[in-house]
Every structure is written in C-alpha cells, then in structure tokens.
Amino acid sequence: MAGEGAVGDGLVPKAATAATRERLSAAIVDFDDAGDFGRASRGLVAQHPTGRIELNGQPVWDVASHDFLRTDDPAPDTVHPGLWRQGRLNAIHGLFEVTDGVWQARGYDISNITFMAADNGWLIIDPLTTEQTAAACLALANDTLGERPVTAVIYTHSHLDHFGGVFGVTTAEAVEAGDVRIVAPDGFMHEVVGENALAGPIMARRAQYQFGPLLTPGPRGQVDVGLGQGMPIGVSRLIAPTEIISETGAELELDGIRVVFQNTPDAEAPAEMNFFFPGKNLLCMAENCTHNIHNLYPLRGAKIRDALAWSKYIQEAMLLWGDDTDTMFASHHWPRFGRDDVREFLGLQRDVYRWMHDQTLRLANHGHTPDEISEELRLPESFARYSHVRGYYGTVSHNVRSVYARYLGWYDGNPANLHPLPPVEAGERYVEMMGGPDTVIAGAREAFDGGDYRWAVELLKHVVFSDPENQEARRLSADAMEQLAYQAESGTWRNAYLTGAFELRHGSLDLGRWQPWELGHAMSGEQLVDMMGVRFDPSRFRPTAHIVWRLSDLGESHLMGVRHSTVHHQQVDEEVSGAADVVVELTRHELLEAIASADRFDQMVSEGLVTVVSGDITVAKEFLEALDVFGTPALIEP
C-alpha cells in the first residue's frame, strides 16, 4: 500500500487516511455554549513574561509548545474538531480576576491555582502539580497584584496536581510554626499514599499513556489532555495538612475569610470537597464540575468513582448554595458567571453522571455485558450540544464500563472469561490457530485498508504478544492505533493510542526507578510500613522475623512482623523491644533512603545515621534487600 497513511514505511507519524478524514468530517461541533472563549478570557490581568518555566535549564512548562492551537484555523484532519476546540480553550493562559479579591492562574499547569486576598496574606487553593509552576504563578500574582505572604492553603482533593507544588508557595517550617494553615478533606493522606506510594509505579507507567508527556506537541502528536494542556515535568512534594474537614457544613475562618465546606468522598476523588465563600457569593466545585465529562475511572488507574454519589453531591451543592452563587470556579478550566449560568451548568453536570449510572445499570440488569453497554450507549441530544458534557477527558464508553465494574466487578458473567489465558500464551495459540503470523498480518492489513482500525489492532495484539520482535506487526498496529488517535474526541484516548504507537515503533522507554520519596516525607510510620509491604518479596527473606523501626523524628516505634509470606504491623511504646530480632532507630527520611537503596544500609549504620538499639542488624538488612525496586517511569523527579 502506498501513499498517505501507508503502513510499514517508517517510524514517523503518518497522515490521516481517507477513512479518518471521512469520520472526522462527519463530527458535529455545534454547541450552544459559544460563550466559552469569552469566559476563558474574561478578567485577564497579566501573563507570565516568557511562558517558559524551567528547572535546571530544562522546561517544566512551555506555553510556546502549543502555539499551534492559538489560531483561528479549523481543526486539521488529524485531530477531532471537538478536541481541537477544547485545546484552543485550554491554551488561553494568564492571571485572571474571578471576582473581587480572587484571581486564578490558568494555563501554566494542567490545573489551576487560585489566589484570594485575605486579611494578612494569600489564601491559596490548589498549589498545582510542581514546585516550579506553583512558584512561577505565585510570583506572577505578587508582581501583578502586590506581594503578600501565604497564610493558608486548601487542597481540594487527593490528586497530585492539586498539592504537588506546595513547596513552591510555602515551606514545611512555616507550616510547622503555625504561620500557614493547610486544609484538606477527610481521608486525604490515606488516598495520597494509596495512589502515589502503594500503586504509584504502575500508575506512573499508565499515566504516560493518559497524559502523553513523551509525545511531540502538534497536530499529529499531543494536542491536549481535555482537562488541561498537559502535565508539567518538575518536582512534586507534599506537606501534610494541618486541618481536616470531616463533614459537610463544617466552617472555618481562614485569615479573615469565611469558608463553608461540603465533603464529597468517592466523587472525582476518594477524598475531595467543594466549598462556598458566603462573603463573596462564590462557589468552588473542586474537580467535581469541569468543562468536560470527567473520568469515572482514569486510564492511569485509580479507585472507581461513584457516579450516583457524584451526581447527588452536585445536587446537594445546588440546594445549599445555588440560589446564592454569583460565580463558580473549579480546579481546572474557566469559571461560570451569573446565577442562571451557574445553575444551568451544575444541572447538566449533575444529570450526565446520573445518566451514565442509571442507564448502565438498566442495561446490566437486562443481562448486557460491559462491552455491549459501552457500544450501545450514546449521549442523548440534550447533552450532546453542550461542550462541557462532552468526552474530552472521560468518555461515555469507558465510564459506563466503570459503573459496571463498581457494582459487579471485573467478571462479566460469562464463564468463558472466568479464567482466561494470559496474553502471551493466548497470543501464541490464536496466531497458530489462525494460520501463523503472516496470515494474521494479512487479515489486519485488509482491515486497515478498509478503515477498520479497531479490528486491525485486535488482531495484531495477538501477533505482538506472541512475537514482540515482529516488526511488521508492530508497525501496522502502530499505524492503526495512530488513526484511532486522530479520530478520538477524548484527549486521553488520543494520548493513549499515540503513546502505544510510539512504543510499538521505537520500543519502551526506561525512565528510571519509581521514587515517591518526596511524598514519603509526609507519610506516617504505618504508611511507610504499608509501602514496604507492597515491595516485599517473601522468596528472598526468612520465614519469620520481627523488626522494630524506631522513628526518632516522629517519636514512634513500629513493630513489623513477617509471617506467612507477608508483613503485619502495630505501633508500640517507645521502650518496647521484647522478642524483636532487631530494634533499629533512624529518621523517617533515612528509612526512605534505606528502602530506596538497600545497598546503602551498611554505610548508613557506619555513619551513625542508623542506630542498632538491640538485636541482629543483618535481619533488617536482609529485609530491605528483599524489597523490590520498581523500574517504572516516575511522575515525581527527586
């Protein structure tokens, strides 16, 4: 096959095929909410002087990378026109006045940072993903509006892009001294550790697909994430909250600003909260209402969200504050202005999550499988003409699968799927039964030429799993994934397909070890033991042991036992040694270092960083050596 879109003719991105051009030409982007560009630009007071934020000379964020979106040109034939429109909106950047005394910096991170002028300084809402982007936005606010100290920080929820930049706006010393209050929802630390330490390595690997940071920005590469332009690549750390909001209706006065909170667990995040500012008639909907359909399950992996509860939380917020809200803002995208506009926006957001929930379960109760439901359900017309309930980030397809899985789990009820073969063995058998790799590739090529890219990818995955070195299969599969990417309305689907195509053409990238140590410095002793537990390989350690980790900086002792190929834990009195094989004293920082590099442990002992209080130090050393080191790309660079 020759011409544009030809397969197997190199490693560079291809043009759109005729089938892709035809599909995209049929996509209708005719929305009633044409005011989005006005809302997204409203109140601009300043922009970052260069648009380039650096760390050690390397870009953490570069506005210019997406200048291709800052035109009035129509969508190219390699980008869904809806995603192109969303990308143009997300490319609008600067410091914007939201209402009197409130500003947001948008377009310098995937998320927004909000500055509120308090009595003695700044109240900051969501200090972004990285220290570098947060510090740059704080400098922009101070230079433009007058310098103020930071006196309070609110983390709206437990995702990295809403707390990871906290060291860019304050210090641990200021928080410990009581000069800065940090407020977060109930369960915040538990969920942060679960995502970033316990399941962090695999989530980081999958996040490369969801966000596409390795893709070149452009019409044939990374265009947008849907939720924002992209993810910054910098340093993310954590300061633990000083105050927890445990119930709806809780009120705080933060440096003279009254805030009323609504807890929304298991909506967009397992730990999240909305809140209202009565003195300003201002509502923050965190990430529970943004200008797209959100994920009920993100492609990076996470706990499945509760669509029914999510919808009910929005309804509750409307009942609590809808009649009093003049302006609504969120942790991503742009605000809504005026009471009627806010209520209409919230009502549609409420209804789309309830629709996905109810219709999925309706069809499931008829016996439909998740694959059948995701193929059947399409947004009703009453939603489809409003851009803020379109699938630029989450999609109806993968969200309805998530509703099914939340209620019914991974099993679809077909016993044929109860104990399937693993992909390599299944691939080998499929390929053999279908007549060998040449026959399968020929069938996939025919599917590709006919524009049936989903089927081409389905066929070729068996060849690639059975023979990862088959370059013809890899490149044809990459070409098919690329066309699926061009057709995708969702930024995350586009990024996933394009990243898959990149790896099929160029091989997987080894970006180093997963090291969530900067977050670890805010963990409790029990959470550190939990982190060791998911790294523990019992085949490399003795059958039983008892180790006391005495954390001198926390004033805590943690008895960790090993039995039945697993660990168990209890916090004990400082003086307890009992029958422990070894009692080791060190700081939380030093325990993290030992977990990261067991080969450094002897040196740490000899340097006096680790003290053997009693017992046999080799037991602790052998345990540390039995911890896996995950070779996975990291979102968090040390």
Q: For 441-451, give one letter per residue: b (16+ CB within 10 A) or e.
A: bebbbebbeeb
| pLDDT confidence of residue 634 | 35
| pLDDT confidence of residue 3 | 36
Q: pTM for the whole thing?
A: 0.91
> What are the pLDDT digits (tens) for 390-424?
999 999 999 999 999 999 999 999 999 999 999 99
| pLDDT confidence of residue 202 | 84
| pLDDT confidence of residue 524 | 86
> What are the pLDDT digits (tens) for 469-493?
999 999 999 999 999 999 999 999 9
Q: Measured between alpha carbons, how far is 250 from 289 in angstroms, rounded to an integer?
A: 21
Q: What average pLDDT is seen over the chain?
A: 92
Length of the chain: 638
> What are the pLDDT digits (tens) for 425-435?
999 999 999 99
Selected from 3.40.50.1820, 1.25.40.880, 2.60.120.1310, 3.40.50.300, the CATH number assigned to the domain covering 420-506 reads: 1.25.40.880
| pLDDT confidence of residue 219 | 97
Residue 180 has pLDDT above 60, yes or no: yes
Class of domain 517-625: alpha beta
* Segment (H or E) for 552: none
**Strand bridging mode 243-245 / 181-185:** parallel
Residue 520 has pLDDT above 90, yes or no: no
| pLDDT confidence of residue 392 | 94
How distant, in Å, are the alpha carbons of 150, 175, 181, 238, 242 from that of 245? 20, 18, 13, 18, 10
Residue 515 has pLDDT above 90, yes or no: no
Q: In which order are the strands placed within the sheet that holds 327-329?
A: 251-254, 257-263, 273-277, 282-284, 327-329, 336-337
pLDDT band (50, 70, 90) for residue 29: confident
Q: Measured between alpha carbons, how far is 621 from 618 in angstroms, rounded to an integer?
A: 5
What is 31-406's CATH superfamily?
Answer: Metallo-beta-lactamase domain (3.60.15.30)
Q: Average pLDDT, stretch 177-183? A: 98
| pLDDT confidence of residue 6 | 43
* pLDDT-wise least confident of 2-11, 290-299, 413-422, 507-516: 2-11
> What are the pLDDT digits (tens) for 126-166?
999 999 999 999 999 999 999 999 999 999 999 999 999 99
| pLDDT confidence of residue 201 | 82
| pLDDT confidence of residue 33 | 65
Residue 175, phi then psi, degrees to nearest 5: -70, -45
Residue 638 has pLDDT above 50, yes or no: no
Cβ pair 182, 172 in contact under 8 A? no
DSSP 467-515: -TT-HHHHHHHHHHHHHHHHH-SSHHHHHHHHHHHHHHHH---------
What residues have CB less than 8 Å from 382, skipping those under 6 apart?
none
So where are the chain's domains? 31-406, 420-506, 517-625
The percent of residues in the chain predicted with pLDDT above 90, rounded, is 84
> What are the pLDDT digits (tens) for 109-124?
999 999 999 999 999 9
